[in-house]
Amino acid sequence: MASLVFVTGGVVSSLGKGLSAASLAAILESRGLKVTLVKLDPYLNVDPGTMSPFQHGEVFVTMDGAETDLDLGHYERFVRTRMGQLNNCTTGRIYGNVITKERRGDYLGATVQVIPHVTDEIKDWIRRASEGYDVAMIEIGGTVGDIESLPFLEAIRQLGVEYGRNAMFMHLTLVPFLRAANEIKTKPTQHSVKELRSIGIQPDVLLCRSEIELSESECAKIALFTNVPIKAVISALDARDSIYDIPTMLHAEGLDDIVVERLGLEDKAGPANLDDWLEVVDRTINTRHEVTVAMVGKYVEHNDAYKSLTEAIAHGGLRQRIKVNIRRIESDDLADDDLSQLDGVDAILVPGGFGERGFEGKVNAIRHAREGGIPYLGICYGMQAASVEFARNVCGLEGANTTEIEPDTPHGVIGLITEWQDASGTVEQRDDQSDLGGTMRLGAQDCRLREGSLARKLYGREIISERHRHRYEFNNHYRDIFQKNGMVLSGISMDEMLVEIIEIPDHPWFLACQFHPEFTSSPRDGHPLFTGFIEAALREQQGELPAGVASL
């Protein structure tokens, strides 16, 4: 049976529960424990797949195709455990399961209620998600006091009783510093814990977010009014130089020792080894080079909309200690001939997305990169836009477009699989593909890389597995004309039906992929596409191969 660490938040949202949980998990993993993390989200959506990036941030896709909360991206960047369907659960999914069981008669005619039926469903989900691990970190979304999170809090209260010593509660709160009074205020934390205790949960550890470190007297005051041991009142300052410094900061506060002792894991846990994280932080701080990458999209002003992507771009510079500055450019602003915002950039990236807005601006940015010899990386929609640009301006296919935007285009170089027809009019469709385009291709799928291609050199192997989230594909009817005009189709699905990667060998560095490589990038390992892309940006900036940068 796994030990459970429940992570709740109080006072205000966005305090960093996900990063705190992931960082603690990273320390416990470094001590030899097998760790997983689960995010329980109180909203009624079944998953965040249809939610606006402006409201919710990015949708993180797991290996098995779950569309999940962005916190799962934090989890995967901090621990080696891969997340899946069971690692993110919403109120919508819980109620859906309960109603399905009620309609099926599983409750034998009983009156279905929040307690015990909804709470039992939540508890069962947590048990299944934590099976096979030494420790499971269970993060409850939202803030204590929110009405929608009450069923989740009641469920973990019950599990706390059932698991006894094998469960503990960690509460993250805000301890504001009032500059006008030059004083730290502990009252919000006291009230937050009071709210938690009113529903039967006594926290074992408090993580106190504050601008300045809490004094011993302030920790003692918080401990006195919250019934938490003073050693378990942890000062959680903002990360000094990088979010990847948080594991070392929490370890220095003794958090992992408190958790190991509280859960009785002394026999399983060895000493913490955080050398990997010290190395990551060192490479982040002590850089030798600096490049600027233009990220051209339509959600660029919202930081969380491309969270995994911005992290992956930064990871791409770590091997050669390159600091990457991201110039966020709204693609709508590039819809005309004024591309001055791209002046001085060392590389251009077009990320994933959907819909017509800003598409022509992306096409213009790609043409600027292709014709100007500027390193280009296209991701998902960025590959589709690159295909449209190449079709129009190199292949001479006037009016070429994606059928997502223009269903009646004369050249739908990007379309639904159901739109590809052979000479007899039969539809070429894979069994695992969409039902008339109504569902996405989601999750990890294998791809074969062409011998001698840039992609093959970057990955260093023939078969790769990457995660997808899209409906539209490269239209196979245009393979020949693209190849005749110099485009290399360097990545093809294992059944040879789908184009996964395109590249231009006569360009200094031009590659676009149908999948989302950012979802498998981590600070310790990076990702071959982002590492190659950022190092190409450095070569572009310096005009020659800098010392220490491997030629690809």
Query: Which positions ≥6 away from 175 have C-beta within 8 Å?
Result: 184, 185, 186, 188, 189, 208, 209, 210, 214, 218, 222
Pairing of strands 347-350, 376-379: parallel
Torsion of CA 44, 48, 54, 60, to 10 degrees: 150
- Catalytic residue flag (residue 380): yes
58, 154, 218, 518: the catalytic one is: 518
* Cβ-contact 122, 155 below 8 angstroms: yes
Locate the DSSP E strands across 386-496: 401-402, 412-415, 441-449, 463-470, 473-474, 488-493
Closest by CA to 458, choosing from 371, 355, 529, 536, is: 529
**Hunting for tokens 């938690």 — which residue is that?**
196
Whether residue 518 lies in the annotated active site:
yes
Give the number of other Cβ atoms within 10 Å of residue 479's Cβ.
14
Positive or negative torsion for Cα 282, 286, 288, 290 = positive
Instruction: Compute the radius of gyration of the chain from its Cα atoms.
Output: 25
Residue from 56, 302, 315, 516 carrying the catalytic annotation: 516
> Which residues, 6 or more positions from 133, have their beta carbon under 8 angstroms from its beta carbon?
2, 34, 35, 36, 81
The span from the CA of 502 to the CA of 492, in Å, is: 9
134: Cα within 13 Å, side-chain hemisphere? 19
Both structure tokens of 423? 């000479």
Q: Could you say which of 380, 395, 447, 513 is catalytic?
A: 380
Please check whether residue 313 is in contact with residue 349, taking contact to mean a CB–CB distance below 8 angstroms: yes
Q: In what order do the strands lie in the sheet with 88-90?
A: 88-90, 35-41, 135-140, 3-9, 167-174, 205-210, 233-237
Amino acid letter, residue 386: A
Count Cβ neighbours within 10 Å for each residue of 297-317 and write b for 16 or more, e otherwise.
bbbbebebbbbbbbbbbbbbb
CA–CA distance, 118 with 122 (Å, rounded to integer): 6
Tell me: cis bond preceding 247? Omega within 30 of 0 counts: no
Q: Is 121 a catalytic residue?
A: no
102, exposed or middle or buried, with CB in 10 Å at 0-12, 13-18, 19+?
middle
Q: Count of alpha carbons within 13 Å of 440, Cβ hemisphere only?
A: 18
What residues are labeled active site?
A: 380, 516, 518
